[in-house]
Structure 1
Amino acid sequence: MSINPADIITIELNCTGWPVPCTRDITRHQLAELLLTLDDMAATTTDQAPDHAQNWPTPDEAYTNAPHLFTETTTLAAASADPETELDREWYLRHAALLDRVALHAACFDNAPGAGTAAQEAEATAVLLLDLDQACRDYDPRAYVRQQYALWASSK
């Protein structure tokens, strides 16, 4: 049986002291991320905060096989301009990754015009992806994009 990571499932969390259980519809992919996060949390002691940074790929690792910036820009622009195309999580992930890559490229040049704006746009779009995925806001948003992009790229 094939499992689609985009399938929507309902989870119910019921912790001691909660007046009612918390029920949410999430994708199987989001469930996998939640279980990894809970596993990380269980591995830490109460005296020590979890170190999520160890799970983040570097930009080079995340974007190793990513298309050229121009190609990706053209592809995403075409999809967003097509009224028949519904922008899904994949589009938002690729868009966030593209802006992250642009910001990284701009940061390579000292005093590059727009470098600050590129970083701000990358950060804002990464936060949008965090919200779309209902992921923890404690994560480094751009590192989260890199992780998710690397996972997506390895699964296609």
Structure 2
Amino acid sequence: MTDFPPSGDTAYLNAPNVQDETEEILRLRRAGRISDREWRLRLAARSDRQAVDADPADGKVQTALQAIVAKLIAFDSANGTTTGPFATDNPAWAADPRGYVRQEYAIWAIGDARPCPSGTS
């Protein structure tokens, strides 16, 4: 990954369409076949993708997205499950929390999702 953070186009290059992703993560959740971390990550990524075309002034969309992203960051922070090169405490995420989602999804999507050492930033 050369861009920091990756753009949405880069992070979600091979992602399924939003409807298919929604159905898949709900199916996996009902079947108990998705970890809490993957659930949060994929939900945050799906929400990020939906917000791309939303009006930035649409408070409902932006507030929902911020809440979902915050839950992923809090989970990763508490569990040391960041997989990207920049941990949850990196100052860049305060200004661009969606970038954190993109970093993590891009790595997850290529199947290289190993937690980074605690404290890496």
Residue identity matched to 1:151 = I
* 2:49 match: 101
* 1:152 is aligned to 2:108: yes
Separation in 1, partners of 2:34, 2:103: 24
**Sequence identity percentage:** 37
Largest Rg, 1 or 2:
1
TM, length-normalised to structure 2: 0.69
Provide Cα deviations, 1:81-111, integer angstroms capped at 9, x if missing partner. Answer: 33x4454211210000001111112238xx7
Deviation at 1:124, TM superposition (A): 1.1
The alpha-carbon distance between structure 1 residues 155 and 85, as it changes in their structure 2 partners (threshold 3 A), is closer
Residue identity matched to 2:29 = S
Residues paired across the two proteins, number: 97
1:142 to 95, 98, 120: 98
SS in 1 for 2:6: coil
Deviation at 1:137, TM superposition (A): 7.0
Separation in 1, partners of 2:34, 2:106: 23
**Unaligned runs of at least 5 residues, structure 1:** 1-53
Deviation at 1:119, TM superposition (A): 1.7
**Unaligned runs of at least 5 residues, structure 2:** 78-87, 113-121
* 1:77 match: 26
The structure with more strand, counted as a fraction of residues: 1
Separation in 2, partners of 1:128, 1:118: 16
SS in 1 for 2:29: helix
Q: CA RMSD in A?
A: 2.2
* Higher RCO (Cα < 8 Å, 6 or more apart): 2
* 2:118 match: none
Structure 1 runs (4+) deviating above 2 angstroms are 79-82, 84-88
- After TM superposition, list the pairs within 5 Å mapping 1:103-142 onto structure 2: 103-107=51-55, 115-134=58-77, 135-136=88-89, 138=91, 139=93, 140-142=96-98
Deviation at 1:128, TM superposition (A): 0.8
Separation in 2, partners of 1:122, 1:137: 20
- After TM superposition, list the pairs within 5 Å mapping 1:1-16 onto structure 2: none
Separation in 2, partners of 1:151, 1:89: 14
* 1:23 match: none
